[in-house]
Every structure is written in C-alpha cells, then in structure tokens.
Amino acid sequence: MHKGMSVLRKTHCNYTLLRHFHNQRPRKPHKSPLRKPIPFITDLKDIQNSDEALAIYHDYIETGGFKHDYPSYSSLIYKLARKRNFEAVETLLQQLHHYNVRCKEALFIGLIQHYGKSGFPDKAIELFRRMPSFDCYRSLQSFNAILNTLLENGRFDDADEMFKSCSKMGFRPNAVSFNIMIRGWLGKGKWVEARKVFDEMLEREVEPTVVTYNSQIGFWSKKGEFVEAKRLFGEMIRKGKKPNAVSYALLMEALCSNGKFKEAKKMMFDMEYQGCRPRLVNYGVLMNDLAERGNFDEAKSLLVELKKRRIKPDVVMYNILINYLCKECKVEEAYKILVEMQVHGFEPNAATYRMIVDGFCNDGKFDEGLKVLNAMLTSRHCARLETFCCLVIGLVNNRKTDDACFVVEEMMKRRMSPDFLSWEALVTSTCGGDRSGHMLVSELVSSNG
C-alpha cells in the first residue's frame, strides 16, 4: 500500500501552483442541476494532464479533509485510463479494494475496454476475474466486453475458449455474444465455423439481429461476391429483419468492387423506396470508390449532394478524400480539404492530421509538415513515432536543426524516443556534419545496450 501511494504522490510537489490556480478559479455556473455537483469532479473535468489530476486528488484530501467516494474514484480512474496511466489506475483500484468502496460494473467495463484499446488484453482478463473481489456482480455485459476486447486484440482462441465455458461462469450468451463470435470467425475467413455459431444461436432460441446478418453480408461483400451477399440480404428480409443503411451499404460495396458504380448509386434510390433513408455510410461507399479511382471532382460533388439532402457530413467523409489525395501525391490539395472542413466547423481528428503530415514528409516539404504537426499537437493529437522521426531527419537535412530539436522535445514530452537514424542526423548536424556524430551515437547505443 505504501508503494502504491508513492506512485500517486510522485508529482505532488511539482504542481502546487497549478493546484492553487484550480482552487482559486471561479466555478462554472450550473443551470438548475438535478443534484448537487461534486466539487472534485467539477474541477477534474477540465484537467487534461494526468499528473495534475493526481495532484488535485491529493489536494482535496490534504487541504480540505475530503473523503473520496465511488464517484470521485471512478471519475479519476477514467481520466487516468484515457491517458494510459495504468500504474496509477492499479494503485487506485487497490485503494478501492482496501477501503471496501462498493463499485459498479460500468467502471470495470470501461477499464476492460481501455486496456483493450491500449493493447493490454491480459490486464483486461485479470480485471474481469478480479471483479467479484470488489463486491461487484459480473453480468453478461462485462462478459461481452471481455469477449470483444480479446477479439480486437487478436486473441480469438482465448475468446472462443471463454465463450464455450460461459455456462460454467453462469452466463447465458445473448445476441451480442453470438455476434462477437460470428464476427471473429468471419475475421479469420472461416465461413463454415461462423455459420455453425449462427446455427447454435438459432438452436438456443436467441433471436438474430440485423447486426448478425450484416456481419455475414459484409463477409461476402468484401470478397466482391454480390450474389452471395444479396442471398443473405434476402434471407434477412424473409426472417422478418428490416435491412438498415449499413445492410445496403455493404451491398453497394460489393457492386463497387465489381466496377458497378452506377448500380451502387441506384441502390440508394431503391433503399429510399423501401423506406430506408440513405445515411453517411452509403455516401461513404460511393466517396471511397470515386476517390480510389481518382475521380476527385465527382467525389467532392457528393459533399454538395449531402448538403442538398440536409445530411451533415462527418470527418470520415473528408478523411476519405484526404487519404486518396495524399496517396496520389496531391498533398497541397489535401491540405485545402483540411482547411475547408475546419471552415465548415468540422474538427480534424488524429487520422486527418497524420495523413497530411505524412503526405508533406513524403513530398519532402518538411516545413509545411512541421506547421501541421504544430496544429495537431495543439489539438491534443499525437503523430506516429515514424512521422516524428521522419520530420527530424528531414528538418536536419534542410539545415533546420532548431526545428528538429523542437520535434525531439515534443517527442520526449510524450515519452517517445527518436530512433537511431534520427539521433545520428541530429548529433551529426550539431557536430558540424563530420563522422564523429555517427561514432558518438554508436557509443551511446552500445553503452546502453
């Protein structure tokens, strides 16, 4: 317990001024709250840095004698998990256990999902097994969460084993459980096994959903097998399940992969006639096909059509255009799309920035790439390690050593280390361009090896 507390306290002293600011700032007004807000949670909402969040956590205890309860712990744990500070998360879980704080299942489901997204499926499994020790009842919802986490982390065999032993754990699988396993088998290209799970679903009298059929339709659509996809589409209708926009989009995808764009576009009129209004996912299929074939003007016209239909585009639609423009080495045009989407009130996501920065780097325009990187970091998004390293080398080669050093500093802030080539370029540059830079880096690497 002492070791755990030291983890939470390690940055406490460094944030005295920051805590003072948060204690002194005016509270945001609340309009007719249904219940009295908790001051700690109110302060925590605007905090982005995990160390600062921990500092405020301690400040409430030490200066106000505040006793944290489940809402406080859960809010802080979610914040830390989003920042991937799982060491502190584990310490807080130990405190919850030590003080016998009654926890809700939602907390553990959220953590299981965060562990999964961060590539720690073993930690997710361990947490799922520990849930009863927190006096928390495990329902089918948490069981499905761990199944999905295992599947998304390439641990299908473990998911299959857990699914087969669900009865021993006291769970009766529902449609979500079966859908996860069907998707898993299809992801492995095992159509026969997927249908066996589907048959088992029917035998257990679990009603298939539209998602159940869509996953199977999608399997054949991605293979370009329109006839088989359409057969399943018909089976779904005969079973009394009304196709949704995704169902039609999957069929459209199969048509596009067979070079039948006009038929795919006509399907949007057919679905509307059947009472299913076209959605962004349908326009996304058309946009992707046009952009992939280099028909950028026609692809852009879809954005105008969306506006006429009063359908608001999203960042994914813009990203499709940006992705293919960058692949065609038209990064300047892609950058214009980035500006256009911002003008129309759409906030670029991490993928948007990454494609543009990588596009400029691939085009040898490292100054422009650095500008977009700055905007990316300001928006609290982060580039890939490869992108950072490429920028460092490119800026050094263009004699922009100060800019390269800035990029390295930003990497260090995010606990990312430049690779050997980046260090070599930077050190060689500061050593006047002679071979001593290479020797110095080699010595540093070997001494730390």
Place of tokens 């800026």: 395
Contact assessment for residue 112 and residue 128, using Cβ atoms and an 8 Å cutoff? yes
The pLDDT of residue 15 is 34
Contact assessment for residue 243 and residue 236, using Cβ atoms and an 8 Å cutoff? yes
Three-state SS string across 87-152, please?
Answer: HHHHHHHHHHHHCCCCCCHHHHHHHHHHHHHCCCHHHHHHHHHHHHHHCCCCCHHHHHHHHHHHHH
244: Cα within 13 Å, side-chain hemisphere: 11
Contact assessment for residue 202 and residue 208, using Cβ atoms and an 8 Å cutoff? yes
Nearest to 258 by CA among 229, 301, 282: 229
List per-block mean pLDDT (blocks of 10 residues) for the chain, which spans 449 residues. 46 36 42 59 73 76 71 86 90 88 92 94 95 92 97 95 93 96 96 96 96 97 94 94 96 96 94 94 96 94 91 93 95 95 92 96 94 93 91 91 90 85 78 50 46
The pLDDT of residue 326 is 95
63-88: b (≥16 Cβ within 10 Å) or e? eeeeebeeebbbbbbbbbbebbbbeb
* Cα–Cα distance list, 36 to 31, 33, 40, 101 (Å): 11, 7, 12, 21
DSSP 230-277: HHHHHHHHHTTPPP-HHHHHHHHHHHHHTT-HHHHHHHHHHHHHTT--
The pLDDT of residue 202 is 95
Tell me which amino acid residue 402 is.
D
Distance CA 80, CA 170 (A): 32
The pLDDT of residue 116 is 94
Estimate to the nearest angstrom the gap between the alpha carbon of 3 and the chain centroid.
32
Burial zone of 406 (CB within 10 Å; 0-12 exposed, 13-18 middle, 19+ buried)? middle
